[in-house]
């Protein structure tokens, strides 16, 4: 039978904006010793600003237009940010053969132009001769009909409470904090060092995020649980794999809310230590 205190723990958590989908997850939370975070939209705001545009043989405005055409049908935070900066309407009827390639970018046809917009992986996979951006940032390279046209550098900010969130996790006994991201190494290392994250893996494809989590599970016993925190964009398989999958509920995708065991209503990373603390106290205190 389930002790009454589990129900009160879940109720208390929900008053704090933490929805726990079952008493088994509340119980598992107290045994979590490793917390794995996704980066974009989880530790960072997921709201990118354009910080530089480098156009080759066309104007910066034309380059931005190509990027906007490619991104107009994507829900990725990168897409929303590029469309916001572009600030104009895109002729949706001229778009054909739209394809979003996870952790790479977009391939699309616009009238008779084939546009690619995405990271270095996308350029390499399509044999585009591109020149590498020098500045630290998330880079969206653009190619049209196989010809490199330049890049847009965008940058995201860490959430106000992310640093406190990591510190508080250490204070409630978490041994290791890990960050996984599909973004590039320079951006990943900058965020990890700003937030005092122990271990960071970058340039990961969605299936490679699952593989990293499998590695974390190697040599563990049943009592050493792993939690993952994500927004469901390119990380829903990881949310489903771990002992406690925690999703950002406000900006996160429906897939995240579905795949998760715990949903944070306010998207604040600093709620995670709170959930663990509630779990640890639930057996001792009746709220």
Residue of 34, 54, 81, 138 interacting with ligand ADP (CB under 6 A):
138
**Per the structure block, which two tokens stand in for 133?**
């951006």
User: Measured between alpha carbons, how far is 45 from 66 in angstroms, rounded to an integer?
Assistant: 25
Residues 88-107, mask of contacts with ligand ADP (x by CB under 6 A): ---------------xxxx-
Least CB distance from residue 232 to ligand ADP, whole Å? 10
User: Measured between alpha carbons, how far is 132 from 151 in angstroms, rounded to an integer?
Assistant: 9
- Site of tokens 């545009």: 53
CA 281 to chain CA centroid, Å, is: 30
Question: Number of C-alpha atoms within 13 angstroms, CB side, residue 134?
Answer: 1
Nearer to ligand ADP, 9 or 41 (CB): 41
User: Measured between alpha carbons, how far is 275 from 16 in angstroms, rounded to an integer?
Assistant: 9
CB atoms within 10 A of CB 153: 19
Region near Mg ion per CB under 5 A, out of 30-38, 81-89, 129-137, 255-263: 30-38
The option from ligand ADP, Mg ion, none interacting with 120 (CB < 5 to 8 A, set by class) reads: none
Residue of 13, 25, 32, 38 interacting with Mg ion (CB under 5 A):
38
User: Measured between alpha carbons, how far is 37 from 178 in angstroms, rounded to an integer?
Assistant: 6
| Residue 270 binding ligand ADP, by CB under 6 A | no
Given the residues 38, 235, 243, 261, the one annotated as active site: 38
Residue of 140, 166, 177, 213 interacting with ligand ADP (CB under 6 A):
140
113-118 and 138-144 beta bridge pairing: antiparallel
| Residue 233 binding Mg ion, by CB under 5 A | yes
Residue of 19, 64, 117, 260 interacting with ligand ADP (CB under 6 A):
117
Nearer to ligand ADP, 9 or 105 (CB): 105
User: Measured between alpha carbons, how far is 129 from 157 in angstroms, rounded to an integer?
Assistant: 30
Least CB distance from residue 141 to ligand ADP, whole Å? 9
- 3-state SS assignment for residue 124: helix
**What residues between 16 and 55 interact with ligand ADP by CB under 6 A?**
38-40
The option from Mg ion, ligand ADP, none interacting with 118 (CB < 5 to 8 A, set by class) reads: ligand ADP
**Per the structure block, which two tokens stand in for 210?**
């699952």
**Annotated catalytic residue 33:** no
User: Measured between alpha carbons, how far is 118 from 19 in angstroms, rounded to an integer?
Assistant: 35
| Residue 282 binding ligand ADP, by CB under 6 A | no
**What residues between 207 and 266 interact with ligand ADP by CB under 6 A?**
233-234
User: Measured between alpha carbons, how far is 195 from 214 in angstroms, rounded to an integer?
Assistant: 24
Question: Number of C-alpha atoms within 13 angstroms, CB side, residue 163?
Answer: 9
**What residues between 55 and 84 interact with Mg ion by CB under 5 A?**
none
| Residue 182 binding ligand ADP, by CB under 6 A | yes
The answer to whether 156 touches 182, Cβ cutoff 8 Å, is no
Residues at the interface with ligand ADP (CB under 6 A):
38-40, 71, 74, 76, 78-79, 103-106, 117-119, 138, 140, 181-183, 233-234
Q: Which residues are catalytic?
A: 38
**Binding interface with Mg ion (CB under 5 A):** 38, 40, 233-234
């Amino acid at each position: 039978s389930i002790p009454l205190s589990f129900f009160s723990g879940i109720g208390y958590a929900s008053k704090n904006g933490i929805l726990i989908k079952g008493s088994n997850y509340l119980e598992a939370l107290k045994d979590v010793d490793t917390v794995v975070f996704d980066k974009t939209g989880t530790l960072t705001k997921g709201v990118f600003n354009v910080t530089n545009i480098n156009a080759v043989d066309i104007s910066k405005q034309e380059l931005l237009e190509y990027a906007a055409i490619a991104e107009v049908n994507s829900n990725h935070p990168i897409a929303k940010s590029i469309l916001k900066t572009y600030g104009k309407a895109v002729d949706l009827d001229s778009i054909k053969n739209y394809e979003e390639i996870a952790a790479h970018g977009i391939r699309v046809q616009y009238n008779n132009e084939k546009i690619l917009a995405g990271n270095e992986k996308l350029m390499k996979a399509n044999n585009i001769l591109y020149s590498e951006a020098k500045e630290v940032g998330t880079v969206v390279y653009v190619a049209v009909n196989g010809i490199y046209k330049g890049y847009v550098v965008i940058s995201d900010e860490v959430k106000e409470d992310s640093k406190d969130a990591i510190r508080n996790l250490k204070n409630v006994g978490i041994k290791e904090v890990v960050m996984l991201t599909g973004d590039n190494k320079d951006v990943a290392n900058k965020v990890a060092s700003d937030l005092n994250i122990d271990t960071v893996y970058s340039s990961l494809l969605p299936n490679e995020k699952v593989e990293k989590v499998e590695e974390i599970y190697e040599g563990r016993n049943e009592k050493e649980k792993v939690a993952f925190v994500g927004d469901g964009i390119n990380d829903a398989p990881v949310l489903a794999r771990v002992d406690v999958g925690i999703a950002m509920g406000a900006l996160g995708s429906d897939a995240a809310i579905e795949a998760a065991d715990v949903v944070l209503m306010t998207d604040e990373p600093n709620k995670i230590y709170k959930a663990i603390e509630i779990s640890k106290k639930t057996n001792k205190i009746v709220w």
